[in-house]
Amino acid sequence: MEFLGFLVVVVLLGSSIKAYGAINQFSWREISNINNKGPYIGIVVPNAYELKPLLQSSSFVPHNKFPYFDFAGRHFRIGKLEKKKVIVVMTGESMLNAGLATQLLLTLFNVKGVLHYGIAGNVNSKYQIGDVTIPQYWAHTGQWHWQRFGDKDEDNEDFNGEFGYLKFSNYNNYTKHSKLVENLLNKVWYQPERIFPVDGTPEVWQPAFWVPVDKTYFEIARKLKNIELRNCVNTTCLPRKPIVVRVKKGVSANVFVNNRAYRDHLRSKFDATPTDMESAAVALVCFQQKIPFIAIRALSDLAGGGSALTNEASIFLSLASQNAFDVLVKLISLL
Protein backbone atom coordinates (compact mmCIF):
# COMPACT_ATOMS: atom_id res chain seq x y z
CA MET A 1 0.00 0.00 0.00
CA GLU A 2 2.84 2.37 0.82
CA PHE A 3 4.42 1.62 -2.56
CA LEU A 4 1.09 2.29 -4.31
CA GLY A 5 0.81 5.63 -2.53
CA PHE A 6 4.35 6.51 -3.58
CA LEU A 7 3.57 5.55 -7.18
CA VAL A 8 0.51 7.81 -7.19
CA VAL A 9 2.63 10.73 -5.95
CA VAL A 10 5.21 10.10 -8.66
CA VAL A 11 2.54 9.92 -11.38
CA LEU A 12 0.87 13.10 -10.14
CA LEU A 13 4.20 14.90 -9.88
CA GLY A 14 5.12 13.78 -13.37
CA SER A 15 1.77 14.96 -14.69
CA SER A 16 2.12 18.35 -13.01
CA ILE A 17 5.58 18.82 -14.49
CA LYS A 18 4.26 17.97 -17.91
CA ALA A 19 1.19 20.17 -17.55
CA TYR A 20 2.60 23.21 -15.77
CA GLY A 21 6.38 23.08 -15.77
CA ALA A 22 8.66 24.77 -18.28
CA ILE A 23 10.43 21.46 -18.90
CA ASN A 24 8.38 18.30 -19.43
CA GLN A 25 9.17 14.90 -17.99
CA PHE A 26 10.69 13.55 -21.20
CA SER A 27 13.05 16.52 -21.47
CA TRP A 28 14.13 16.17 -17.84
CA ARG A 29 14.98 12.54 -18.51
CA GLU A 30 17.02 13.50 -21.56
CA ILE A 31 18.84 16.24 -19.63
CA SER A 32 19.59 13.76 -16.86
CA ASN A 33 21.03 11.27 -19.35
CA ILE A 34 23.22 13.97 -20.83
CA ASN A 35 24.42 15.16 -17.43
CA ASN A 36 25.23 11.61 -16.31
CA LYS A 37 27.93 11.61 -18.99
CA GLY A 38 29.40 14.91 -17.74
CA PRO A 39 30.82 17.15 -16.53
CA TYR A 40 31.28 19.18 -19.71
CA ILE A 41 33.13 22.23 -20.88
CA GLY A 42 30.64 24.76 -22.21
CA ILE A 43 31.52 26.45 -25.49
CA VAL A 44 29.60 29.65 -26.16
CA VAL A 45 29.65 31.08 -29.70
CA PRO A 46 27.95 34.30 -30.83
CA ASN A 47 26.94 33.73 -34.47
CA ALA A 48 26.66 31.15 -37.24
CA TYR A 49 29.78 32.29 -39.12
CA GLU A 50 31.82 31.85 -35.93
CA LEU A 51 30.25 28.45 -35.27
CA LYS A 52 30.98 27.25 -38.82
CA PRO A 53 34.69 26.38 -38.26
CA LEU A 54 33.72 24.15 -35.32
CA LEU A 55 31.03 22.30 -37.26
CA GLN A 56 33.40 21.75 -40.18
CA SER A 57 36.27 20.56 -37.98
CA SER A 58 37.17 16.90 -37.60
CA SER A 59 38.17 17.78 -34.03
CA PHE A 60 34.51 18.02 -33.07
CA VAL A 61 32.71 14.68 -32.79
CA PRO A 62 28.96 14.75 -31.93
CA HIS A 63 27.72 12.31 -29.29
CA ASN A 64 26.44 9.09 -30.90
CA LYS A 65 23.26 8.85 -28.73
CA PHE A 66 22.30 12.45 -27.96
CA PRO A 67 24.11 14.80 -30.38
CA TYR A 68 21.89 17.75 -29.47
CA PHE A 69 19.18 19.05 -27.16
CA ASP A 70 16.76 21.81 -28.19
CA PHE A 71 15.23 24.08 -25.58
CA ALA A 72 13.81 27.62 -25.49
CA GLY A 73 15.00 28.44 -28.98
CA ARG A 74 18.52 27.14 -28.32
CA HIS A 75 20.26 24.22 -29.99
CA PHE A 76 22.75 22.65 -27.57
CA ARG A 77 25.26 20.45 -29.40
CA ILE A 78 26.76 17.64 -27.31
CA GLY A 79 29.99 15.91 -28.23
CA LYS A 80 33.75 15.99 -27.88
CA LEU A 81 36.30 18.55 -29.02
CA GLU A 82 39.90 17.38 -28.88
CA LYS A 83 38.53 14.41 -26.90
CA LYS A 84 37.13 16.73 -24.20
CA LYS A 85 33.40 16.51 -23.43
CA VAL A 86 31.70 19.70 -24.58
CA ILE A 87 28.29 21.30 -24.95
CA VAL A 88 28.20 23.99 -27.62
CA VAL A 89 25.58 26.73 -27.83
CA MET A 90 25.21 29.59 -30.31
CA THR A 91 23.85 32.69 -28.59
CA GLY A 92 23.00 35.10 -31.38
CA GLU A 93 24.15 38.71 -31.39
CA SER A 94 23.77 40.99 -28.34
CA MET A 95 24.30 41.04 -24.60
CA LEU A 96 20.77 39.80 -23.88
CA ASN A 97 21.08 36.76 -26.14
CA ALA A 98 24.54 35.93 -24.82
CA GLY A 99 23.46 36.20 -21.20
CA LEU A 100 20.31 34.12 -21.68
CA ALA A 101 22.08 31.35 -23.60
CA THR A 102 24.87 31.16 -21.02
CA GLN A 103 22.44 31.02 -18.11
CA LEU A 104 20.45 28.24 -19.80
CA LEU A 105 23.66 26.31 -20.44
CA LEU A 106 24.68 26.52 -16.78
CA THR A 107 21.17 25.85 -15.44
CA LEU A 108 20.37 22.80 -17.55
CA PHE A 109 23.72 21.05 -17.78
CA ASN A 110 26.62 19.84 -15.67
CA VAL A 111 29.20 22.39 -16.85
CA LYS A 112 32.58 22.80 -15.15
CA GLY A 113 33.87 25.73 -17.20
CA VAL A 114 32.98 28.02 -20.11
CA LEU A 115 35.08 28.90 -23.14
CA HIS A 116 33.78 31.72 -25.31
CA TYR A 117 35.18 32.51 -28.76
CA GLY A 118 34.39 34.72 -31.73
CA ILE A 119 35.45 37.84 -33.59
CA ALA A 120 35.71 41.42 -32.33
CA GLY A 121 36.36 44.97 -33.37
CA ASN A 122 39.80 46.33 -32.53
CA VAL A 123 40.31 49.56 -30.57
CA ASN A 124 44.08 49.11 -30.16
CA SER A 125 46.00 50.09 -33.30
CA LYS A 126 49.01 48.13 -32.02
CA TYR A 127 47.33 44.99 -33.34
CA GLN A 128 45.98 44.04 -36.75
CA ILE A 129 43.18 42.04 -38.34
CA GLY A 130 43.51 38.33 -37.66
CA ASP A 131 45.31 38.71 -34.32
CA VAL A 132 43.67 36.71 -31.55
CA THR A 133 43.25 38.48 -28.21
CA ILE A 134 42.63 36.92 -24.81
CA PRO A 135 41.73 39.65 -22.26
CA GLN A 136 42.27 39.22 -18.55
CA TYR A 137 39.25 41.40 -17.69
CA TRP A 138 35.93 42.20 -19.36
CA ALA A 139 33.55 45.10 -18.73
CA HIS A 140 30.04 45.95 -19.88
CA THR A 141 30.37 49.56 -21.06
CA GLY A 142 26.74 50.00 -22.03
CA GLN A 143 25.40 50.52 -18.51
CA TRP A 144 25.09 54.34 -18.31
CA HIS A 145 23.88 57.07 -16.03
CA TRP A 146 23.00 59.95 -18.35
CA GLN A 147 23.66 63.16 -16.46
CA ARG A 148 21.19 66.04 -16.68
CA PHE A 149 22.46 69.09 -18.52
CA GLY A 150 23.58 71.77 -16.07
CA ASP A 151 24.13 69.41 -13.13
CA LYS A 152 27.50 69.54 -11.41
CA ASP A 153 29.37 66.28 -10.91
CA GLU A 154 29.68 66.81 -7.16
CA ASP A 155 25.91 67.31 -6.82
CA ASN A 156 25.07 63.82 -8.05
CA GLU A 157 25.00 61.07 -5.46
CA ASP A 158 22.72 58.65 -7.32
CA PHE A 159 25.34 57.13 -9.60
CA ASN A 160 28.80 55.58 -9.44
CA GLY A 161 31.60 57.88 -10.61
CA GLU A 162 34.45 55.41 -10.21
CA PHE A 163 34.70 54.31 -13.84
CA GLY A 164 34.56 57.67 -15.53
CA TYR A 165 32.41 59.22 -18.21
CA LEU A 166 32.02 60.16 -21.85
CA LYS A 167 31.60 63.93 -22.21
CA PHE A 168 29.97 64.75 -25.53
CA SER A 169 31.28 68.31 -25.79
CA ASN A 170 34.81 66.90 -25.94
CA TYR A 171 33.87 65.70 -29.41
CA ASN A 172 32.27 68.88 -30.79
CA ASN A 173 33.72 69.75 -34.19
CA TYR A 174 33.30 73.48 -33.80
CA THR A 175 33.90 76.19 -31.21
CA LYS A 176 32.33 79.57 -30.55
CA HIS A 177 34.77 82.43 -30.11
CA SER A 178 37.55 79.87 -29.60
CA LYS A 179 35.83 78.51 -26.50
CA LEU A 180 34.45 75.04 -25.90
CA VAL A 181 30.68 74.98 -26.35
CA GLU A 182 28.76 72.77 -23.95
CA ASN A 183 26.77 69.97 -25.57
CA LEU A 184 23.14 69.50 -24.51
CA LEU A 185 23.79 65.74 -24.35
CA ASN A 186 26.17 66.55 -21.48
CA LYS A 187 27.87 63.31 -20.36
CA VAL A 188 27.21 59.68 -19.54
CA TRP A 189 28.84 57.92 -16.61
CA TYR A 190 29.81 54.27 -16.96
CA GLN A 191 28.08 52.17 -14.31
CA PRO A 192 28.86 48.72 -12.91
CA GLU A 193 26.38 45.89 -13.28
CA ARG A 194 24.55 44.69 -10.21
CA ILE A 195 24.91 40.94 -9.87
CA PHE A 196 23.43 38.45 -7.43
CA PRO A 197 26.08 35.81 -6.60
CA VAL A 198 24.83 32.23 -6.58
CA ASP A 199 26.29 31.75 -3.09
CA GLY A 200 25.15 35.13 -1.78
CA THR A 201 22.07 36.31 0.07
CA PRO A 202 19.01 36.34 -2.23
CA GLU A 203 18.09 39.82 -3.51
CA VAL A 204 21.34 41.29 -2.18
CA TRP A 205 23.43 42.56 -5.08
CA GLN A 206 27.07 43.50 -5.48
CA PRO A 207 28.63 45.76 -8.12
CA ALA A 208 30.69 44.27 -10.94
CA PHE A 209 32.48 46.27 -13.62
CA TRP A 210 35.80 44.65 -14.46
CA VAL A 211 35.12 40.91 -14.44
CA PRO A 212 38.24 38.71 -14.34
CA VAL A 213 38.58 35.56 -16.40
CA ASP A 214 39.63 32.36 -14.65
CA LYS A 215 43.23 32.60 -13.41
CA THR A 216 44.09 29.01 -14.38
CA TYR A 217 42.68 29.40 -17.90
CA PHE A 218 44.51 32.71 -18.35
CA GLU A 219 47.78 31.16 -17.22
CA ILE A 220 47.37 28.24 -19.62
CA ALA A 221 46.78 30.81 -22.38
CA ARG A 222 50.48 31.73 -22.10
CA LYS A 223 51.19 28.55 -24.06
CA LEU A 224 49.16 29.68 -27.06
CA LYS A 225 51.43 32.39 -28.45
CA ASN A 226 53.22 30.20 -31.00
CA ILE A 227 50.13 28.90 -32.80
CA GLU A 228 50.36 29.16 -36.57
CA LEU A 229 47.39 31.26 -37.71
CA ARG A 230 46.00 31.98 -41.15
CA ASN A 231 46.86 35.27 -42.81
CA CYS A 232 45.31 35.04 -46.30
CA VAL A 233 41.82 34.91 -47.74
CA ASN A 234 42.24 33.59 -51.29
CA THR A 235 44.84 35.98 -52.76
CA THR A 236 44.31 38.76 -50.19
CA CYS A 237 46.90 38.56 -47.43
CA LEU A 238 47.63 40.52 -44.27
CA PRO A 239 50.91 42.47 -43.88
CA ARG A 240 52.19 39.99 -41.30
CA LYS A 241 51.12 36.67 -39.83
CA PRO A 242 48.55 37.06 -37.05
CA ILE A 243 49.58 36.44 -33.47
CA VAL A 244 47.93 35.27 -30.24
CA VAL A 245 48.24 37.81 -27.45
CA ARG A 246 47.03 38.03 -23.89
CA VAL A 247 45.81 41.58 -23.26
CA LYS A 248 44.63 43.42 -20.19
CA LYS A 249 41.06 44.41 -21.03
CA GLY A 250 38.14 43.88 -23.39
CA VAL A 251 34.80 45.70 -23.48
CA SER A 252 31.29 44.78 -24.58
CA ALA A 253 27.99 46.59 -25.10
CA ASN A 254 24.94 46.47 -27.35
CA VAL A 255 26.80 48.83 -29.66
CA PHE A 256 28.50 48.02 -32.95
CA VAL A 257 31.49 50.37 -32.78
CA ASN A 258 32.24 51.80 -36.20
CA ASN A 259 33.38 55.22 -35.08
CA ARG A 260 36.99 56.27 -34.75
CA ALA A 261 36.39 58.86 -32.00
CA TYR A 262 34.57 56.39 -29.79
CA ARG A 263 37.20 53.75 -30.57
CA ASP A 264 39.91 56.11 -29.33
CA HIS A 265 37.81 56.93 -26.27
CA LEU A 266 37.45 53.24 -25.34
CA ARG A 267 41.18 52.78 -25.75
CA SER A 268 42.22 55.84 -23.70
CA LYS A 269 39.55 55.49 -21.03
CA PHE A 270 39.68 51.74 -20.47
CA ASP A 271 42.95 50.49 -22.02
CA ALA A 272 40.81 48.07 -24.05
CA THR A 273 41.80 46.01 -27.08
CA PRO A 274 38.78 44.02 -28.36
CA THR A 275 35.25 45.39 -28.37
CA ASP A 276 32.22 43.19 -29.02
CA MET A 277 28.57 42.67 -28.14
CA GLU A 278 28.61 39.44 -26.07
CA SER A 279 31.74 38.60 -24.06
CA ALA A 280 31.01 40.70 -20.97
CA ALA A 281 27.52 39.17 -20.74
CA VAL A 282 28.97 35.66 -20.75
CA ALA A 283 31.60 36.78 -18.23
CA LEU A 284 29.03 38.33 -15.89
CA VAL A 285 26.81 35.23 -15.86
CA CYS A 286 29.77 32.93 -15.21
CA PHE A 287 31.10 35.28 -12.52
CA GLN A 288 27.71 35.32 -10.83
CA GLN A 289 27.46 31.52 -11.03
CA LYS A 290 31.08 30.96 -9.90
CA ILE A 291 31.97 29.06 -13.10
CA PRO A 292 35.47 29.36 -14.62
CA PHE A 293 35.43 31.42 -17.82
CA ILE A 294 37.69 32.78 -20.54
CA ALA A 295 37.05 34.52 -23.88
CA ILE A 296 39.01 34.31 -27.12
CA ARG A 297 38.36 37.08 -29.64
CA ALA A 298 40.01 37.42 -33.05
CA LEU A 299 40.17 40.95 -34.45
CA SER A 300 38.18 41.34 -37.67
CA ASP A 301 38.56 45.10 -38.20
CA LEU A 302 39.87 48.33 -36.72
CA ALA A 303 36.69 49.83 -35.28
CA GLY A 304 35.88 53.01 -37.19
CA GLY A 305 38.48 52.33 -39.85
CA GLY A 306 41.71 54.10 -40.59
CA SER A 307 42.73 52.70 -43.95
CA ALA A 308 41.42 50.43 -46.66
CA LEU A 309 43.00 47.44 -44.93
CA THR A 310 42.04 48.13 -41.33
CA ASN A 311 38.29 48.10 -41.90
CA GLU A 312 37.80 45.24 -44.36
CA ALA A 313 35.77 43.17 -41.92
CA SER A 314 33.68 41.62 -44.68
CA ILE A 315 36.80 40.23 -46.36
CA PHE A 316 38.53 38.90 -43.25
CA LEU A 317 35.46 37.73 -41.32
CA SER A 318 36.03 34.06 -42.15
CA LEU A 319 39.75 34.31 -41.42
CA ALA A 320 39.17 35.88 -38.01
CA SER A 321 36.52 33.29 -37.16
CA GLN A 322 38.84 30.45 -38.12
CA ASN A 323 41.76 31.90 -36.16
CA ALA A 324 39.61 32.26 -33.04
CA PHE A 325 38.48 28.65 -33.35
CA ASP A 326 42.03 27.37 -33.94
CA VAL A 327 43.13 29.02 -30.70
CA LEU A 328 40.11 27.53 -28.88
CA VAL A 329 41.07 24.04 -30.09
CA LYS A 330 44.61 24.44 -28.80
CA LEU A 331 43.41 25.84 -25.47
CA ILE A 332 40.93 23.03 -24.84
CA SER A 333 43.61 20.45 -25.65
CA LEU A 334 45.67 21.91 -22.79
CA LEU A 335 42.90 21.77 -20.17
Per-residue model confidence as pLDDT tens digits over 133-185: 999 999 999 988 888 887 877 666 677 877 887 888 888 876 666 667 788 88
The Cβ of residue 275 has, within 10 Å, a number of other Cβ atoms equal to 28
The radius of gyration computed from the CA coordinates of the chain, to the nearest angstrom, equals: 23
Q: What pLDDT is stored for residue 174 in this prediction? A: 65
Domains and CATH numbers, the chain: 1-36 (no CATH), 39-140+210-334 (3.40.50.1580)
For the stretch 192-242, pLDDT in tens is: 999 999 999 999 999 999 999 999 999 999 999 889 999 998 888 999 999
Q: How far is CA 106 from CA 89, 100, 114, 332, in A?
A: 11, 10, 9, 18
CA dihedral 313, 317, 323, 328 (to 10 degrees): 110
Rounded to the nearest 5 degrees, what angle is found at the Cα of 215, between the Cα atoms of 213 and 220?
105
Q: What pLDDT is stored for residue 307 in this prediction? A: 56
Q: Distance from CA of residue 251 to its chain's centroid?
A: 10
- Distance CA(33)–CA(109), nearest Å, equals 10
